[in-house]
A = this chain, B = another copy of it.
C-alpha cells in the first residue's frame, strides 16, 4: 500500500447474541482523500456507546451497519485538512469519524469544539452523555423541589451525570446499578442519597425502602425489569424519562413490555416520554457552559475510564454493554498536537 496508512476496525460479521470483540477485525486502507465538502479528520478519542449495538441491527434513528463496514461512532478528532472550510489544521472537532485513525467527514457534520479542560471531557460530561443527562433530567423530567429522582445505570456515562445534576439541584436522588461497589461509590463519592442493586433478590423491597415517598422522576437508561419495578413505585403525576434501553441493546430476544403501561400510567397520571439529545442541538452550547461551570467548581465529578489504542475499542464496547464500566469509557487513539500548534487564533491555548 503506497502512501500513509489508515488503520480501521471493521465489522467482521453480523453479531448474534451478545457482542464479542471478535466480531470486529482491524484492516488497513489508504488515508482517505477528502472530496469537495469534506474535512479530513484524525481521530484522537473514540466514544464506545451502547446504542451502537442497536445501530448494527439498523433499528435506530441513525441507520444500520453491514459486515465489512468501518464501525461508526462519535469521536473527538483533529482537523488535518479543512478542505474548503475555515477549519484550521489542528482544530479540535466533534464528529462521527468511527473506529479508524483518519476519516473524511462531511463538513456539515464537523462541529468545532471550544476546548475547556481535558479533551476527554468533551466525550463525557461536556459531550453527548453529559448533554443527554442535562436535557433528559431538566427538560424532560422537570423535577420539582422536594421530589425524588431515581436514575438507573447510575454509575454509567449518562446516569452518573443525571444523578449528580439531580443532587446539585437539591432533589433526593437514588441510583440503581448492578453492583454494591458501584453503589458505595455513588453514595460516598458522588453524594447520591441512596443506591440499590438491581441484581439483589430484595431489589423491589430495597427500592421501596430507598424511596419511601415513591418516585417522582425516573430517569430510565435500561428498560426491562428495572423499568417495571420503578413504574410500580411512581407517585401520581410522576415522569418517566425514556433515555436508553441498556438491558436490550445486546440481546436478540425482545423483552416483554412493561405491564404497568397503560393501566398504571392512567391511574397515576404518569408521563412516559422519550427524547434524543440531537433534538436539543440548538441548546448544547448553553448546557455545556453550565456543565463546565459545575465541573470547575467541583460540584460535578467527572468519571472516566480511558483505554489506550484503537485496538482497545471492541473490548471497550463489549464492556460498556455488560455494565463493566464506571462513568464514561473512552478509547484514546492518538494524542492531540500541542495546544499552541493547534489553533492559530489562540482560542484553544487555555486548554
Contact = CB atoms under 8 A, between A and B. Distances in A.
Given A223-B263, A262-B227, A263-B245, A271 B273 contact: yes
A276 B267 contact: yes
Contact of A265 (B61, B242, B260): B242
Given A254-B259, A259-B255, A261-B261, A242 B266 contact: yes
Nearest to A264: B274
Given A257-B257, A257-B259, A272 B267 contact: no
Interface string A270-282: 1111111001000
Interface range on chain A: under 10, 10 to 19, 20 to 34, or 35 or more? 35 or more
Given A223-B263, A257-B259, A259-B257, A274 B268 contact: yes
Best-buried of A256, A257, A261, A262 by chain B (most CB within 10 Å)? A262
Contacts of A245: 262-263, 266
Nearest to A271: B273
A262 B258 CA distance: 8
A59 B232 CA distance: 13
A343 interface: no
Interface string A56-71: 0001110000000000
Interface in A215-251: 220, 223, 227, 240, 242-245, 248
**This chain's copy number in the assembly:** 2
A274 B270 contact: yes
A258 B260 CA distance: 9
Contact of A273 (B220, B259, B263, B270): B270
Nearest to A266: B274
A7 interface: no
A242 B269 CA distance: 9
Nearest to A270: B274
A44 to B, nearest CB: 29
Contacts of A272: 261-262, 265, 271-273
Contacts of A258: 257-258, 261-262
B279 A269 contact: yes
Nearest to A279: B269
Contact of A267 (B227, B262, B274): B274
A257 B254 contact: no
B257 A265 contact: no
Contacts of A223: 262-263
A220 B266 CA distance: 10
A267 B60 contact: yes
A87 to B, nearest CB: 31
24 contacts: A60-B267, A223-B262, A223-B263, A240-B262, A242-B261, A242-B262, A242-B265, A243-B266, A245-B262, A245-B266, A257-B258, A257-B261, A261-B261, A262-B272, A262-B274, A265-B272, A265-B274, A268-B274, A269-B274, A270-B274, A271-B271, A271-B272, A271-B273, A272-B272
Given A265-B273, A269-B276, 10 more contacts: A223-B263, A244-B266, A245-B263, A257-B261, A262-B274, A265-B272, A266-B275, A267-B274, A267-B276, A269-B273
Query: What 3 A-B pairs come out closest when comparing CB atoms?
Result: A257-B257, A265-B274, A266-B274
